[in-house]
Chain A
């Protein structure tokens, strides 16, 4: 899964070492700027209405009234208004329509979704979460946009305004009421979605043999079938075809030392026998198809093999990502990222030089590539918090890798590119403390797949003095020797000369635990809930001074800006091909392509100047509207990763700050409006 933001809640809030980038400071600056701007525009409006001197008093009055209003806000009255707003929303039947559309989509969703492709769970999750998100946001937008303007238009607002209810209570009550209705709808949708995903993906197979025992299996014959068998596989059979696929079922000859622990799933073992000092376990394994498998169990009396329901669709992996990733060249030097225009080495927010992998000419530069055939060219992952307590007590620590491969020549087609992984300790004082370095664990890469490697707690390796001499060799414990200070270095190398392995920071991690899927699913819905609250607040605020259609339009624009802020910001890059909005329109009409430079003239200069202003305005808007991408956790659910508490907290903080901001803004707008009325 693509992850580009690794900061914790605290780092996000405070900015870490570089506090100037902290969210709190940005919030305060925006609040002050908005306050001053609001004051200025409020004064201008008042000047128009009352003249320059009177305006000063009007403004002062509004500001001084605000304080007691805010202090005297009553929760009881807010709840009363919330209750009324909720009733009003339900009466409008928009909620019912949204629910019916969603239910219909779930009913017929199976027409479009199948379980035959790669990772159908991603398609399912995407479908339900996207549907719920769109419907809930539209529903919230509709009920919030029509409420206040309708009340003002029909003068029913006076039935409340004449009561001892403050403006801020009317706004907060509405936000709360609409959010409550949205919450109820979202909760029902979440439960239905989970049932839909679960029911849609779960399926069963049987072994496609008259007698589903070992006797029906045939010898593995790669030369005849062309299928690469699993390691240790000696026999194979197929499952029945269902849900658009079937699986290969293999019998593995698992040879273990007599003193070694037996396989974890003894239900899948057909028989075992003593062979010299070893025990051979003949166990059944179902090969993975489209990201899932089925576990096999063998009846000890009849030898019949039965298969469970689908496994592997419903994951909530808790990853421990590296805190730093660096790339090194063939000569062992860091591959520093250099600005092509200025020639300067680029640095991160802490002033450290940024390194980058090799480019193999891909359009998407998310992954950097490592040169093959040398241990000096490597990707170096530094983990700062590897503690025994973070992992369960299993014998092997799961290291998961998603690697990309680039072949510069064809090589041996039947063999995948080999990868090496080596661990190293990071001593607090490298000048005086020795380093523990493991031997290289070598394996074949599996592209576009989460590859799981069990790392033993005790690894063979060497103790190396600060001078670089080998002090001793033997087995060293991952937690007590390698990561005794919590820090661990993982070095990834490509073992094949002339070939490349591509990797990004989120591609290599230790899996600390497996979270509950259903809980993660609901956390995904919490993201939609936060978006809904933001939209409810924004729409209510806008409706205090705009009529309903305009409110809706502005809110939809805010939504678009919020979801696509990154893409829109890309459009505002100076000197972009095609120019700004006006120039693009001119090019469209005159059918000129984006690269041709327009002939210099006064008109063109004016157009470019106006475009420049519009683009800066466009850019500014993307920073004012909330970043909905940060409130969207669907990707985590889709790819089976746990949504970390930090992400939830960041999302909640953004939503809360935005709600407070727009509520205060709405309060002043409504105040002005009442004064006008």
Chain B
């Protein structure tokens, strides 16, 4: 090959490269923004695709130089490098080389900054898996914090994805607030000014303040607020897609203040005024959540407060339909209910509920009746249509409309009931309402006093001279304080009978155990006759088949129940029994 041929070949190569570079530069051209951050030029198709898919570095001003350098430096072998780094991370975790793990993670997220699962998975790894490897709770706290700091780094690269904010809320709330070391974590959190400063770059830390210091649950509340704002208002004028069902997504924020109060009342003797205000706010937030319009899979709008859509509405519509086609309902509905019974869709108790007039039902029975009506829906559709068919030809159109409205109303009730049940809406509404009462706050104070006295090993009441009045008075011990708390709770349960099952009872049963243990330590009988919470304890023992400070009648019932269980295996949950009424 002579010189000129070589030269020509080189020229052809250069021309081909240039020709390929032109379309490449056109399709890959990034978007540009003006000084007001408004997009002036959308950029090439690749750039637009990156933008549409939230690969947010499509804009020149948002490029993370470190991340881009790393991606370029991997010379197209990013996938390989990422795999190696993942292996390194897993290996470092197995070998407990935490500095190597952190370093590999830092590199990994620079190569995969827009892959949200990497942030979530690895932050969880740090906060939940690595932290528990440490024996020292201070180090555990540091690693939970490392996971949170790590997640915050992902915010910039994923500005239109709320999941990082949601995870930050979860980590900040749940991990600091419910771990075994929660007492220590929350104490460390309160005094961690540097961490507060860092979080202050993202959230308004003045909203996190309480008179007891900054609270992790309120910080979680702020993260969830950010996530809600992103979804409700969008980012940079663009919509942010909600990645979880609405009922789930919106229940996190209002739950945080409630959690804060439950934590604080275990840690401090929280004052009436502050507690009442916070519980009230918590209740308002929960009701706001309940009033938020949700959309069912069928596209029907409903809310968890079930405003305007209750069984009463269904009955009103049915009455209107029955006027157009009178006399047919009892027979058709009776047949449908019988079929539902035969097919085990409803049980006799639910059928009995459905047969009773609505004004005879209490709130709890009404909820159960609504659930039963929802279960009956597949049969109801046919019944309502058959009744509408019986209407006179001139009324048939109206009758059909009414029958459809009945079905839609039951659909809405069904959706609302399901969400209420999944997110325990009713329970938390009642619980928050109850906790905000003066009595419940007093009960919490008495519980705190009791636990403090127990810590100081003052179990029994003792006589002392009041330094101010100079009079002799009796100072209560832990046992008396517990008994005071139990008495107040029994009063609260009279006002809120729905709360006699659920997490509050679990907590109270634990306190009953503690109370019983310290009575034994004080040389007393472990349990007293006429205990204020005897009915609650009996019911708990019956439900859980546990021989726990129960009266003889419960023991007999438990034995009888065990026999009946053996005879008919697989009975559903035992019904609540008011043991005070049994002789």
Contacts and interface: CB of A to CB of B under 8 A. Distances in A.
Contacts of A350: none
Interface string B85-112: 0000000001110111011001100100
A415 B65 CA distance: 45
A123 interface: yes
Interface stretch (B131-139, B285-293, B442-450): B131-139
A129 to B, nearest CB: 14
Contact of A118 (B65, B102, B110, B135): B102
A446 B136 contact: yes
Interface string A111-141: 1101001111011001000000000000000
18 contacts: A111-B69, A112-B106, A117-B99, A117-B103, A118-B102, A224-B187, A224-B190, A225-B187, A226-B187, A241-B194, A405-B135, A410-B180, A413-B137, A446-B136, A447-B133, A447-B134, A447-B136, A448-B133
Given A225-B191, A228-B138, A363 B103 contact: no
The listed residue with most B CB atoms (<10 A of its CB), out of A123, A413, A414, A417, is A413
Chain B: interface size category: 20 to 34
Contacts of B94: 362-364
Given A112-B66, A224-B191, A448 B134 contact: yes
The listed residue with most A CB atoms (<10 A of its CB), out of B65, B99, B102, B106, is B99
A364 B137 contact: no
Contacts of A111: 65-66, 69
Contact of A246 (B96, B191, B194): B194
B565 interface: no
A61 interface: no
Closest CB pairs A-B (n = 5): A226-B187, A226-B188, A405-B135, A225-B191, A119-B99
A227 interface: yes
A117 B99 CA distance: 7
- The dominant DSSP class at the B interface is helix
A304 interface: no
Interface string A131-153: 00000000000000000000000
B180 A448 contact: no
Nearest to A245: B194
Given A122-B99, A228-B138, A364-B96, 19 more contacts: A108-B69, A111-B66, A112-B110, A117-B102, A118-B98, A118-B102, A119-B99, A123-B99, A226-B138, A226-B141, A226-B184, A226-B188, A227-B191, A246-B194, A404-B96, A414-B137, A447-B134, A447-B136, A448-B96
A539 interface: no
A246 B198 CA distance: 13
Contact of B100 (A112, A122, A363): A122
B419 interface: no
Given A226-B187, A226-B188, A413-B180, A126 B103 contact: yes
B181 interface: yes
Nearest to B64: A111
B170 to A, nearest CB: 22
Contacts of B98: 118, 448
A366 B96 CA distance: 11
Nearest to A124: B103
A416 interface: yes
A118 B99 contact: yes
Interface in B52-107: 65-66, 69-70, 94-96, 98-100, 102-103, 106-107
Contacts of A448: 96, 98, 133-134, 139
A417 B136 CA distance: 9
A355 interface: no
B107 A112 contact: yes
B452 to A, nearest CB: 13
Contacts of B188: 225-227
Interface in B545-561: none
Contacts of A108: 69
Given A111-B66, A413-B181, A366 B136 contact: no
Interface in A396-428: 404-405, 407, 410, 413-414, 416-417
Contacts of B100: 122, 126
Contacts of B70: 112
A120 B65 CA distance: 22
Contacts of A551: none
Nearest to A291: B99
A544 interface: no
A416 B191 contact: no
A590 B408 CA distance: 50
A410 B183 CA distance: 14
Contacts of A225: 187-188, 191
A501 B94 CA distance: 17
B72 to A, nearest CB: 12
Contacts of A112: 66, 70, 106-107, 110
Interface string B125-155: 0000000011111110100000000000000
A120 B106 CA distance: 13
B135 A416 contact: yes
B195 to A, nearest CB: 11
Nearest to A366: B95
Contacts of A362: 94
B179 to A, nearest CB: 10
A407 B132 CA distance: 11
A334 B107 CA distance: 45
Contacts of A123: 99, 103
A417 to B, nearest CB: 6
B136 to A, nearest CB: 6
A118 B135 CA distance: 16
A206 to B, nearest CB: 16
A225 B213 CA distance: 11
Nearest to A499: B135
A445 interface: yes
B136 A416 contact: yes
A196 B413 CA distance: 68
Nearest to B142: A118
B191 A226 contact: yes
Contacts of A126: 100, 103
Contacts of B139: 447-448
Contacts of A119: 99
A117 B126 CA distance: 13
Contacts of B135: 405, 407, 416-417, 445, 447
Nearest to A127: B103
A454 B120 CA distance: 43
A28 to B, nearest CB: 37
Interface string B174-200: 000000110011011011001000000
Contacts of B95: 2, 364, 366
Nearest to B179: A413
The listed residue with most A CB atoms (<10 A of its CB), out of B65, B69, B70, B136, is B136
Contacts of B191: 224-227
